[in-house]
């Protein structure tokens, strides 16, 4: 995950030198003396205008690499939301409007999502669930931004409080930014919208920065192997898959088509698969399962899927303070297709199965 330089939301000011023209005025018999033609400044001519400033350099949305058509959106902070991803919580809302979605192992061998919005809005996001320890390291790569969630044990949210740099908005403490659906069972009934959660960010009064560009974008490398689908195991009872349609990838979960509340299929332009490790924590759920702490610091194998091909490489991130890099065998950044991305954090020893 390459983190290039941050894109500024402000244009530099242009200062023009002030021309000072000294005009000698001589009093003679009480009447003023006009300057001669030779003394008149050319800038005084009403027909002369300042040349137009050159057009600004092209800008892209930092989390998609697509041309930025709205400067306000391109310059706002990232908004990350934890999304429930188990059978009783389906169908979900808002995922196809997120610039980035991260699929993360949680207790019991299940997964939970972090959906990150910046270039697009949506009126419905959810169901929103609780935070996990790895969130801090994922948020740090986004300059923190806004992080919305519903519930978290002290040990689960402690890393985000310590070093995520994010503004934390919890349904437990600030329910005015969320609502509960009467058609859903607790705890799978908490929802919100980008409008509400960005309003929460503004109400905090905290200055929040736009995210950096996370990935490198460009043409697919020559020689990339054809791969129309991938199967990903997360545990003996949890899996996901992606299939190339010719224009994007569509998702399956546990062998079934993954659809949203509006009936649309969950889809994306890029899939970035990172092989990661995890360690158990002392946080135990009601069923006696330990909450895993997924590790995204260090290094490991990586696969990038785009445009029906797969590029095999590796990821490197020595510390949460530095950006992650996704590199090919020669050590060059692997380019993505401009567009939306799913980040799959597949726990070892499982490996992606390409076909």
Q: Which residues of 246-279 are buried (b: 16+ CB within 10 A; e: fewer)?
A: eebbbbbbeeeebbbeeeebbbbbbbbbbbbebe
What confidence category does residue 249 fall into, taking pLDDT thresholds of 50, 70 and 90?
very high
CA pair distance 85, 253, nearest whole angstrom: 9
Is the pLDDT at 251 greater than 90? The verdict is yes
CA pair distance 353, 146, nearest whole angstrom: 34
Domain spans of the chain? Answer: 71-204, 225-354
Task: Name residue 342's beta-bridge partners.
Answer: 101, 271
| Structure confidence at residue 48 (pLDDT) | 52
The per-residue DSSP string of 227-291 comes to --EEEEEEETTEEEEEEE-SSSEEEEETTEE-BBTTSPBPEESEEEEEEEEEEEEEEE-TTSPEE
- CA atoms 142, 145, 148, 152: torsion sign: positive
Hey, is 173 helix, strand or coil? Answer: coil
pTM of the model: 0.84
What confidence category does residue 92 fall into, taking pLDDT thresholds of 50, 70 and 90?
very high
Is the pLDDT at 12 greater than 60? The verdict is no
> Do the domains 225-354 and 71-204 match in fold?
yes
For the domain with range 225-354, which CATH number is right: 3.40.50.300, 3.20.20.60, 3.50.90.10, 3.40.50.150? 3.50.90.10
For the domain with range 71-204, which CATH number is right: 3.40.640.10, 3.40.50.150, 3.50.90.10, 3.90.180.10? 3.50.90.10
Q: Which residue has the higher pLDDT, 66 or 54?
A: 66
* Region 54-79 average pLDDT: 88
């Amino acid at each position: 995950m390459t983190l290039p330089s941050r894109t500024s939301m402000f244009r530099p000011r242009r200062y023009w030198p002030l021309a000072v023209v000294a005009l000698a005025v001589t009093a003679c018999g009480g009447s003023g003396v006009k300057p001669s033609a030779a003394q008149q400044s050319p800038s005084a001519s009403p027909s002369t205008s300042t040349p137009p400033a050159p057009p600004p350099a092209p800008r892209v949305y930092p989390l998609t690499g697509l041309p930025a058509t709205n400067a306000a959106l391109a310059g706002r902070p990232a908004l990350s939301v934890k999304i429930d991803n188990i059978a009783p919580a389906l169908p979900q809302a808002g995922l196809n409007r997120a610039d980035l979605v991260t699929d993360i192992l949680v207790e019991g061998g299940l997964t939970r999502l972090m959906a990150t919005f910046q270039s697009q809005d949506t009126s419905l996001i959810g169901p929103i669930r609780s935070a996990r320890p790895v969130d801090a390291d994922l948020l740090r790569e986004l300059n923190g931004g806004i992080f919305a969630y519903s519930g978290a044990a002290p040990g689960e949210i402690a890393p985000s409080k310590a070093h995520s740099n994010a503004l934390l908005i919890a349904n437990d403490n600030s329910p005015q930014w969320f609502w509960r659906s009467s058609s859903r069972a607790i705890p799978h009934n908490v929802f919100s919208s980008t409008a509400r959660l960005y309003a929460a960010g503004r109400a905090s009064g905290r200055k929040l920065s736009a995210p950096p560009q996370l990935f490198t974008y460009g043409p697919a490398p020559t020689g990339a192997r054809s791969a129309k689908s991938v199967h990903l195991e997360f545990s003996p009872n949890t899996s996901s898959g992606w299939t190339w349609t010719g224009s994007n990838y569509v998702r399956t979960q546990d062998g079934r088509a993954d659809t949203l509340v509006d009936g649309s299929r969950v889809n994306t332009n890029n899939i970035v698969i990172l092989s990661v490790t995890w360690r158990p924590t002392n946080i135990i759920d009601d069923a006696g399962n330990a909450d895993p702490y997924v590790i995204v610091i260090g290094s490991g194998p990586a696969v990038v899927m785009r445009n029906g091909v797969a590029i095999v490489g590796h990821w490197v991130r020595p510390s949460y303070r530095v950006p992650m890099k996704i590199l090919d065998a020669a050590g060059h950044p692997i380019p993505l297709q401009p567009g939306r991305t799913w980040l799959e954090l597949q726990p070892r020893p499982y490996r992606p199965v390409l076909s």
